[in-house]
Chains A and B, each alone.
Chain A
């Protein structure tokens, strides 16, 4: 690399400084690249992996049978569950005879990889588009079943549609 000695105008530094200052001044009036979170949000891709949702079928029965495949697939060991047998008066609640009485996901351990979604044979768990919200205590990050379940399609149809709708659009894509 050849380094030429500076010409007189260059060695003054001043012309270069003024040119630089003109450039920074022009930047004052250009468009800003910032997104005003939380009023505006950056659009996510269709395969974005966010919070988990436990699915129900069209009648409102829970899909999950507590088979434990998601817990085994999870690389961070974030999922724990306890199975229970379905009683005769609970047929409208659960699809099969075995269901998950206690289902907990520790959000602090979860790495949002989506392996549980891939492992589930019953289409019971999937990762939605929601961001994981922040909290103050570690205990509140262990999400139990009722926080994870999707809203009931018959009792709360709008919420169910809202929670599910984006996913089908994503799946179509």
Chain B
């Protein structure tokens, strides 16, 4: 009985430490994504980015954080206090929750115990990701409603409608992927890609639809109408100041990071190092070093996707609202359905 108790306690401790590590990692990466965004935006616009705060401006996100902390906390008198504070918190929580099912590596060995680097290896991995992303709509809607401001409400409604429209296309594009892999668990998908070839080769159209939908989910240009400054008076986070605004803006970057990780996991092989046989690496270098290299491979892929996010933002102008809805319903959903049918036909042909 006592032995069972100790086993459980160690597992709980492991999981807590892993959760802490993943959350702090996500926050740090989101912080430096803000810095990278400003730097890359500047370089693309023929100027230098922030380079005064610390060497090469590397302490700029810290300066931004401190600035946000020192601003005055305004809670509008006519707003609903509880919901006002809840909105950004929800946005941040749903952004972080998705990170629970991403496999960051195979396993590491500490003191003879194998610790898997995935917080929750549920066998409905992708469905869980979708569920949490759907909950992200709440953060925006509550933020817009609690502000007690017509423009914020309008912007929040637009944002919510944008997100739910693009969720459909996202799900449909993933169905064709799931037809190929046969399992919803992210760990299985990565393992299949490790043994076979990456899913991008089998599902290029699915990847294209998925990346467009991820742009829309993260409220990222060209789909950033809900937070446009000149169109909708800064959108649903107009009434927010100081750290609540910071949480909204930050949750967008955390969302970006986690979505990049999900895309890398589903289509680009996750923690698979290309052209390298992982089992041979484990045998020669030991589990911990292999896990480190795998994690670095995943990190490199995530960085590439973050760069693509930033690159697209500073290239393309914004979509108008009707163009956005048109794209989501009339173009992407038929395309995703066509993709599904093509995949099904090809799979049946190969089987025969």
Contacts and interface: CB of A to CB of B under 8 A. Distances in A.
* Contact residues on A (Cβ < 8 Å of other chain), bracket: 10 to 19
A25 B311 contact: yes
B47 A32 contact: yes
Contact of B315 (A17, A34, A36): A17
Interface string A12-43: 00000100110111011011111010000000
Nearest to B41: A24
B314 A24 contact: yes
B281 interface: no
Nearest to B46: A33
Contacts of A34: 47-48
Contact of B44 (A28, A31, A36): A28
Contacts of A30: 46
A28 to B, nearest CB: 5
B316 A17 contact: yes
B30 to A, nearest CB: 23
B169 to A, nearest CB: 15
A31 B45 CA distance: 10
Which of A28, A31, A36 has most B Cβ within 10 Å?
A: A28
Interface string A35-74: 0100000000000000000000000000000000000000
Contacts of A32: 43, 46-48
Nearest to B48: A34
B316 A27 contact: no
Nearest to A31: B46
Contacts of A36: 48
A20 B222 CA distance: 13
A144 B43 CA distance: 45
B312 interface: yes
A27 B44 contact: yes
Contacts of A31: 46
A11 to B, nearest CB: 9
Contacts of B312: 17, 21
A32 B51 CA distance: 14
A27 B46 contact: yes
A6 to B, nearest CB: 13
A24 B48 contact: no
A21 B315 CA distance: 6
Nearest to B317: A20
Interface string B302-319: 000000000110111000
A161 to B, nearest CB: 34
Contacts of A33: 46-47
Contacts of A28: 40, 43-44
A21 B46 contact: no
A58 B153 CA distance: 73
Interface string B36-75: 0000100111111000000000000000000000000000
Given A17-B315, A17-B316, A24 B47 contact: no
Contacts of B311: 21, 24-25
Nearest to B51: A36
A24 B311 CA distance: 8
A126 B311 CA distance: 51
A3 to B, nearest CB: 15
A32 B42 CA distance: 9
Contacts of A25: 44, 311
Given A32-B43, A33-B46, 9 more contacts: A21-B315, A24-B44, A24-B314, A25-B44, A25-B311, A28-B44, A33-B47, A34-B48, A36-B48
Interface of A: 17, 20-21, 23-25, 27-28, 30-34, 36
11 contacts: A21-B312, A24-B44, A24-B314, A27-B43, A28-B43, A28-B44, A30-B46, A31-B46, A32-B48, A33-B46, A33-B47
Interface of B: 40, 43-48, 311-312, 314-316
**Cβ-closest 8 pairs across A and B:** A20-B315, A24-B315, A24-B44, A34-B47, A34-B48, A27-B44, A28-B43, A33-B46
